[in-house]
Every structure is written in structure tokens, then in C-alpha cells.
Chain A
Amino acid sequence: MVHAAPGGPFDAERTLPPEIEANIARAYHLDEPLPAQFVRYLSGVLKGDLGPSYRYRDHTVSDLIANAFPLSLKLGGMAMLLALFIGIAAGSFAALRRNSAIDRLTMVVSMTGISVPVFVIAPLMVLLFAVKLRWLPAGWSGNEGVARFVLPVISLALPQIAYIAKLTRASMIDVLSSNFVRTARGQGLGAYAVIRYHALKPAMLPILSYMGPAIAAILTGSVVVEEVFGIPGLGQFFVRGALNRDYTLVLGIVIFYATLIVLLNLVVDILYGVIDPRIRQR
């Protein structure tokens, strides 16, 4: 399917002499019939070899993924944690002070967070915090430490913070008006204790079901953030690979993600069995 896109990985305005094109095609086995290429590729994949990258002639696809994935994971994980923490806190707060000025402000901010795309927010933040104030680095390479994570993680987390805040607020309001909370308040518990011990857990259910889409959103958002900050993560390689017709790189990343998801599901299922004995007996 990747081959269906017009143009080849070695095309350029500087069209190559046919002999040289043939030599390059041979070096990458592109001169073989597609079924033969497919078999060669599959047998490589089974051995964990995703083949050479067509664009990065010094690197294999496995190398590139091994370098890029940890970075994307770090970025996404940090953004997710940040989004959960701030989103739930802000949402709960807004629910408690329903219809107050603070509630309205939170919701206005989160609406903005949802509607303004990452590729607008991120450069604006760079301009403010890196160029004008010089508090944080503007880019990735050549900078060290945690500071270079701050802006990318915030840009990535912002829309999720907004969503989670809205979700938390709505579900919290729901829960707070339910009977068991009223009973708890009636017993003389304070607002904080009610939220902490009674309301928070049931109010979190919608958030939990939002986690799937959130992970997907962070995955796609990371493509933009990685471009804007020049972070060598998996998203950037995926997009560049598609544009350069780097077939093996694109295929490799797809296979990698697919395997990762299958493996994670497997691990989750097994863990579920460990945690809940009823599952094991079924």
C-alpha cells in the first residue's frame, strides 16, 4: 500500500542517469518483483530487522525507532500526567464553586485550550518564554536537562488539560448532587473530605474512559509538537518518512506501534487476571 503513493524515495529534481538509478535500486533490492521484496521484508521483520531506511542511508529503521521512541514516550507520559493532575484539580475546583467567577474563568480558559490548536499555542509560548523572557530553551538539540521538556510538554498537555477539566467538572457536579454525597454532607463531613473520600472516585469514571482517546490525541499531537520544537521523536520520523517515501521507515513505525498496542493489551489482560481472581476462573 505504501508503494501506491506516486514518486519514489530517490526521486529528486536532479534526475539520475538510468544506470545509477538501477544501481541504487539493486542496492535496496527494489529491482526485485514486489512479492519477492515482501517475502524478504517479512522474514527480516520476524528476525526483528525492519530493514534499511531509504532516506537515512547510514541508519537502519530499527536504529531510528530505538532512538526516537523513548523520547516520544517520555514526552507523552509527562504530558499525560500533567494533564490528569491539573485537569482533575481544576475541574473539581470549578465544580465546587459552580457558577462563580472562578468557575467561569476555568471554563473559558479550557474552551480556549480546546479550540486553539497546538501549532498556534506552541510557537506563541516559545516567543514569550524563550525569546522574550529567556526563561526556557527555545528548542531541543544542544540544550540539556529538564528545562527543554517544559514547553513541549505543556503544549502537548494543554488541550488535554482542558478536556479533562471540563469532563471532571461535569461529572463532579453530577456526583455532588447524588444521594450518597448528600448523606455524607449530612453527616457533617467537609467539602474537601467529601470530594476526597466519596465523590472523586465515581466522578473519575468518565475520565477513565476518556484515557483511550487522550492517548491517541497525545500521540497525534506529538507530531506537531515534535516538529515545532525540533524533537527527534517518532512522530517526526513518521511524517518525514511519509513525505520522503521512506517506505521502510513508515512501515517499520506502523509495525512497531501495532506490536506495542497488542503487547500492552496482552500485559493488561494478564495483569487483570493477577489482580482479579474471578477472571482466571472464567
Chain B
Amino acid sequence: MLRDMISLRLVLLVALGLTLVSCGNPVDPKAEVTTLHRGLSIDPESVDPHKSRSVQAAEVLRDIGEGLLSYSASGELVGGVAKEWTVAEDGLTYTFLLRDDARWSNGDPVTAEDFAFSFRRLVDPDTAAFYAEMLGSIVNVRTIIAGEKAPQDLGVVAVDERTLVITLDQPTPYLLSLLTSPSTFPVHPDSIAQHGDAFTRPGNLLSNGAYKLDAWEPGSVLVLSRNEYYWNNDETAIDAVNHHVLTQEMTELNRYRAGEIHITGSVPPDSIQQIRAERPAELHIAPYLGVYYYGFNLTKPPFKDNPQLRAALSMAVDRDVLVEQITGRGEAPAYSWVPPGVNNYEPRRLAYADMSQDERNAHARRLIKEAGYGPDNPLQIELRYNTSDTQQRMALAIQSMWKDALGIETTIINEEFQVLLANTQAREITQVFRSSWIGDYNDAHTFLSIMESDNPANQPAYASEEFDSLMQRAAQQVDLDRRRLWLEEAERVLLADHPGIPLYFYVSKHLVSPDVVGWGDNVLDYHYSQHLSLVPAGATP
């Protein structure tokens, strides 16, 4: 009886399956259309510019939307929807003049009021935007987020249809580069009024970038096609862009090898040697604005009030070994918090950056002894990292470096990523933890501000009055060269205090098909599809 039931159930399942198979999608080959296929390592959480936060969402949004400013193909900051802009002498008032020919994908003009509406929506508590604080220096942003003032009080005003004025509380020299960020892209007010939350659905979504969203199959692909109304449509070569969601790096690599993908979102670490040998010209590795570090929990012993111990642990890590043997994708060893290549900035370096590793180890041993640890009082610590092959090898290597150089017993503990984050933020059981920071804009401020005592992203709970006041001085400085000096001084203080151990700087990694023309490596790793083109009649799909 039971057997029969099971078999019947099977028959039902199969019958249903066959019915579904028989109504597959019709094939529609458009031979004339050039389509670019790009890999994306995760689904965007949203195509609403105000509700998204991942790098991957931003990549898609940069294709379908456009802010006041943008980047050119060669990485220069250029006008986007804004044609020109002026900054008042005190650095607190920015006036933007919008292009006459900026249009939404339904032909409506993109107005200054659209931007004012969108900025208000970004900071409105009801929107619940992840990046609401991104424009924190605009007048009233923080009080609006906290619900103390209405979004209407925001310091962004549409003076007329083409003129937008932004007023700030304090000078923010990186404001212009912030305005290239998808969080500051406009949304179409009428379509939100009409569709509510469903305004981001393909078909409903109106966008003002070079492309528009035709379809989104979660977990699979986002299909974009040319926005005929885009002001620079004549210069846009590629007709359609498919962003393929490929969570497995190996899957992505295989699809690239099979000619199904033009540009990969990443490259698997284990395959890098093979790729270097097979197709060196297609492998693009470039410095990227990101730092990988081990943080210390500064609220609990042994690291609380113990800068010597922290410095010793940092010194004993041979970063060259890490980048050569473990990451192996061309990463640069980190001796500063701010990566090289940041606009108008020269990163400070750790005092022992130029020593040999033996000298560093000798120095570290002295510090450990001064901190009161030795054969009679051996130090035992815990190191937490998120479960992944590379993270584990990194932790093992550092565990043995600390053991060999300093005699420290390290217990390494792997935790699922969300668990690690929760533990790091609770600051109860963590001692040393793996972390990283990716720059939001091309300015040293994005790397240094996370260590300000009131910044929620300050995972070690570093609190230095000296550092905070230097950052504050930099924030009030309009003169770019003086500001830079304050920031550099702040980094020097930060490095000496060792709230964490900067280990290496990230690189961006892509495979780019020889059929793609116009690809340029840059520190922000921004690659707008509208700047690319495909060589005609290639072997690729």
C-alpha cells in the first residue's frame, strides 16, 4: 500500500514535470543586437538605488542609472546628469546645473526636483536605506534619519527645473565622488506614486542611465537593453547587457572558457596559475580600494590598553609570505590603513615597514617581554575567521608565524560569516577577528573614518581622542592640501596604536574576453558597460 502510494506520487510528479517542460520559453535570436555578457557573483539585493548596498547591485545600477556625476572611460570624474557645477568658497554650497537632454527611459526629462525627491527618499526613515548616512554632511541628514526632522528639511533644494543646490554642515571635498554612487541616483517620483514598492519590477522600473532593465530572474540573470532616451545614447555601442548571477567562481570560469561570458566578476584563486599560463592577456589584476585586516577587540583583555602586545603581533606577521603563498593574485602587502592609489593622498607606513622580517621578529620579542609575557607566562589567544578556504590558510599561516616568532599559542576558530559578524559586534568572546574594508569613494576619509570612536563600523572599538580630533580638523578644512596633511597625521596615530593588523590590499580580478574593447583597470573597479564595445562577429555568443 505504501509502495503503491509512493509510486503514484512519482507518476504525478513526473506528469506535472513533463507538462512544465513542454511549455518552455520561445527562442528569439536577434542576430543584429550586440549583447555583452558579464558575471556577477551574487544577486543584487535590489535595483532600487536606495535599498541596495552590495558591490554587485552597484555594478548593475551603474548601467541602468546615472547620478549628478559619473566617471569617464578613463576614470576621470565627469558630469553625469549635471552638465556643470560650482562650489561656494566656504565649501558648503554646491550648485548643479542639469543637462537639458537628460531623460528617463520613458522620455520624461530628468529634473532637479527628481533629484531633490530622491535625496529626501534616501534619508527618509520609512525608506530604511542602508546607505542613508552616506550623505551625512548634508544639512539635517542625521536628524532626519533619527526621525527628529522631516525629510522636507533636507539641505537639497531644486531652485528651478534644471538647478539643484546642496548645502552642507561641513566641507566634504569627496562629495563630488559620492555623487557618482548609486545611492545618490535619482528615482522616478511618478512611478513610485503609481506602483509603490513594485516600481522596481522590470516593466515598471524607469531608469535614467544608458540601459533599462528588461527582466530579472533572481539567482540567474538580469537582462538590460539600450535606453533610447539616454542623453549619450549615440556614444553607447553595446545594445544589450546580461548580468549573469554566478555564485560559484568555478562555474563562472567554465562559462568564460566556454565562451558564454565576456567578463567575469572574479577569478578562482586555485586557477590563477593555470590562467596566467593559458591566457595571460585576458587576466586583469589591478589594485583595488580595499584592505584586509585582523582586528583586535580593544574592550577586553589581553588587548585592551596593551598597544605593545598589539604591535608585537603585527610585527611578527610576514605579509610577503601571505600575499605570495596564500592569496597569490598579485595583492600588495599592507603596511598602512589607506591603500596606495587613493586620490591626493600619500599613505603613512608602519614604523617597521622597512625592516627585514628577522629584525621585526626580534623587535616583537622585546615588546612581548615588556608586555609581561614569556616562557613563565605564555600568551594564549583566539583568532576567529569566517569559514572559507583562503581565510583558513591565512589563519593557519599567521598562527604558525606567531608561534615561531613569539611562542604564542593561538587557537583558530572558524565561524560562519554571519556568526563572525555577530560575535565581532558583540565584543564579548572575540579577541582577534578577520575583517576588511572596501572604500566607498576615492578618498582616504573612507578608510580612516571607520576608526573614529563614534563610527558604527569601528569593529575593534578603537577610541583615541587624538585620532578623533585630527579627523575633525581634517573635516573642517576646505584647503585640500592642508586637509590631506591632517588625514595623513591621523593615519600615523592610527598605525602607532594598532587597533588591528593591516595584512594586504585587495586587487580586482577579472577575465576579459579579447572581444571586449575599451576595458580599463582602475582602483574603484568601476566598468560601465556603456564605455565598452564588442569586436563584431566574434566567436563569442
Interface residues of A, Cβ cutoff 8 Å to B: 5-8, 10-20, 23-24, 26-28, 55-59, 64, 67-68, 70, 73-74, 76-78, 80-81, 123, 126-127, 130-131, 134, 137-146, 205, 208-209, 211-212, 215, 227-233, 236-237, 240, 243-245, 264-265, 267-269, 271-272
Contacts and interface: CB of A to CB of B under 8 A. Distances in A.
B18 interface: yes
Nearest to B2: A209
B259 interface: yes
Interface string B171-201: 0000000000000000000000000010011
Interface string B1-40: 1111111111011101110110011010000000001000
Nearest to B246: A230
B133 A20 contact: yes
Contacts of A137: 258, 260
B457 A13 contact: yes
Contacts of B423: 6
B259 to A, nearest CB: 7
Contact of B421 (A7, A77, A227): A7
B145 interface: yes
B13 A215 contact: yes
Given A74-B21, A208-B3, A268-B12, A6 B457 contact: no
Contacts of A11: 418, 421-422, 425
Contacts of A264: 9, 12-13
Interface in B43-100: 43, 45-48, 51-53
B220 A240 contact: no
Contacts of B221: 141-142
B200 A12 contact: no
B224 interface: no
B248 A228 contact: yes
Given A126-B254, A211-B6, A212-B6, A56 B45 contact: yes
A241 B3 CA distance: 34
A7 B421 CA distance: 7
B129 interface: yes
Contact of A58 (B10, B133, B201, B541): B201
Interface string B121-157: 0000111111011000000001001110000000000
B10 A73 contact: no
Nearest to B1: A272
A131 B258 contact: yes
Interface of B: 1-10, 12-14, 16-18, 20-21, 24-25, 27, 37, 43, 45-48, 51-53, 125-130, 132-133, 142, 145-147, 197, 200-201, 216-221, 242, 244-248, 250-251, 254-255, 257-261, 416-419, 421-423, 425, 435-437, 456-457, 459, 541
Contacts of A78: 17, 21
Contacts, number: 233
B6 A209 contact: yes
A272 B5 contact: yes
A20 to B, nearest CB: 5
Contacts of A271: 8
A267 to B, nearest CB: 7
Contact of B541 (A142, A227, A267): A142
A233 B18 CA distance: 17
Contacts of B422: 6-8, 11
Given A230-B248, A240-B247, A130 B258 contact: yes
Given A11-B421, A24-B130, A215 B145 contact: no
A141 B220 contact: yes
Given A139-B246, A141-B217, A230-B246, A77 B251 contact: no
24 contacts: A5-B418, A6-B418, A7-B422, A8-B422, A11-B425, A13-B457, A15-B457, A18-B456, A19-B147, A20-B132, A58-B51, A73-B13, A73-B17, A74-B17, A77-B18, A138-B255, A142-B221, A146-B24, A208-B6, A215-B9, A215-B10, A215-B13, A240-B219, A271-B8
A142 B37 contact: yes
A135 B463 CA distance: 60
Given A127-B254, A243-B418, A23 B132 contact: yes
Contacts of B145: 17, 19-20, 23
A150 to B, nearest CB: 13
A232 B17 contact: no
B509 to A, nearest CB: 19
A233 B20 CA distance: 14
Q: Which of B53, B219, B257, B425 has the most CB of A within 10 A?
A: B219
Given A58-B197, A127-B254, A231-B220, 14 more contacts: A6-B422, A12-B421, A20-B128, A23-B125, A77-B20, A80-B13, A131-B254, A141-B217, A208-B6, A227-B247, A229-B251, A232-B217, A232-B218, A271-B8
Contacts of A228: 248, 250-251
A27 B128 contact: yes
B529 to A, nearest CB: 15
B132 A141 contact: no
Contact of A81 (B14, B142, B255, B261): B14
Q: Which of A28, A123, A268 has the most CB of B within 10 A?
A: A268
Contacts of A139: 244, 246, 251, 254-255, 258, 260-261
Contacts of B17: 73-74, 76-78, 80-81
B419 A58 contact: no
Contacts of A244: 418
A19 B129 CA distance: 11
Nearest to B22: A74
Contact of B258 (A134, A144, A243): A134
A239 to B, nearest CB: 10
A131 B197 CA distance: 42
Contacts of A131: 254, 257-258
B353 to A, nearest CB: 25
A68 B245 CA distance: 15
Contact of A130 (B21, B254, B417, B436): B254
Contact of A68 (B3, B219, B417): B219
Contacts of B435: 13
Given A208-B3, A215-B10, A230-B248, A15 B425 contact: yes
